[in-house]
Structure 1
Amino acid sequence: MKLPLFQVDAFTDRLFGGNPAAVVPLATWLPAPEMQKIAAENNLAETAFFVPQGDSFELRWFTPELEIDLCGHATLATAHILFTELGHRESHIHFHTLKAGTLTVTRNENLYTLDFPSRPVMDCQIPEGLLAAMGGKPPIEVWNSRDYLLVYESEADVLALKPDFVALGKIDMMGVIATAKGDHSDFVSRFFIPAAGVNEDPVTGSAHCNLIPYWASKLGKTQLHAYQVSARRGELWCELKDDRVLMSGKAVTYLKGEIYV
């Protein structure tokens, strides 16, 4: 069987920046183990699979190791391919997901806005070994939602982190967000998720479901400009809107091809 395959750099306007995601359009769902093998073969942070459902689409995301409950950059990448390569004519797309409900992406020229659930962080106990595994200055705050949120004093502290990924992978958690006020933006972040087979994710939409409500409360405003300061770097324009977060970013197509399964 031959399937189309696209690769997109998301949350960037330049090739080799942002976060790469693979996108595989399907007529009907493949068995989950087969989609997992395709994602492992692609060896990107996420591979998105989608199938049509009337005027909308069902969407699922796989890391090289597992199916994940929410992914921003691969959702943006999927919308970009539908708009630019597959002839979607409306200005918005609705994606139905297994655990995150319905996600909407709206296009305004070359900017895509993702409408995602807000995930405010909560007080938590710090897992043994977490702070030592981060490899830098200790954070000034620690919170939790799906992922741990570690708040640092400065952007320089976030940039200086050198995590021990083997140690992080042994802690019972999904991922770790490191964040601080930005030098040239409202806030910056990095995201580490070795448990899912991705040591550092270049730009992470799902992490901003935590970051946006946190920084909106901290800074006293609902519209925020953010950078994820990985080596590939990504830029997001964000808004807190009731119990939803809006994340806007750009995307560029890197690859179009076919796979044989």
Structure 2
Amino acid sequence: MTVATEVEPTSIWALYESVAPGDWLQQGDLIRFKEEDRPAYYGVVVTADCDLGNRKHSRLVTLVPLLSIEEIICKCLAYDAFENYKDALHQYCKRQLSIDDVPLTPAFLGKVKALVREGNISDEVVETAAKAITHEDWVICVPKLRAMFTAAGISWPKALDRFAKQIDSRGDILRLLAPPLTPDRVSVVWLRAMWQARVSDIAIRTSEAQERSGIRVARLNSPFRYRLTQMLGQVFADIGLPDVPAAVLTRDIQEFVR
């Protein structure tokens, strides 16, 4: 039986205090990237140790992002929420934009999209909702989400509760704690958003940091490291099956009642 215990950041992350000669990147390493045109961002190495050690990675390393709670909401969960609350968002746009067509129809969405692209929506909250239902690009942030949901009659506390449950239960999200000495509150791994970086762009030693965009700052401890790779395999190797109607099971069980 597994017993749940409270954990500290240091039980999840091991800080690198020194670097041995010949040291190289390892699976579970946390990399902090800093580029001129964007804020600092973090990635966890998921390339296998055997590939890293034997140089079987074509000088590329695969990472998954370590995000803050706000980032996982805005980059991932918000889009699920748009689908979940699409009826309320469509009705809100219909009222505010005075469109006669039936919501959710191609004709309705076409008119909303035309207003968005022509820049004919003066209210920022209405414009945000219009972009959300028409899949137009916009910079999602929590204050804008809250304003949009509230205006559309969607309970913000319930939406937050939904986000929290998704973070805890989704198979492509692993909730951790922010690494020690990290100024950014990054604590959630999103497996589907993996990307690759060149090994030569990642500094192992602080003396290399000036020349490279990424620097290794910590390593994910086991069993969290193993859980991460296990979840990664499940996300990308899982085989989806069509749903078997529940009525079939009910019918078969009912045979034993007679």
Tell me the TM-score normalised to structure 2 length: 0.26
Higher Rg: 2
Higher helix share: 2
Structure showing greater relative contact order (alpha-carbon pairs closer than 8 Å, 6 or more residues apart): 2
Q: Give the structure with the higher percent strand.
A: 1
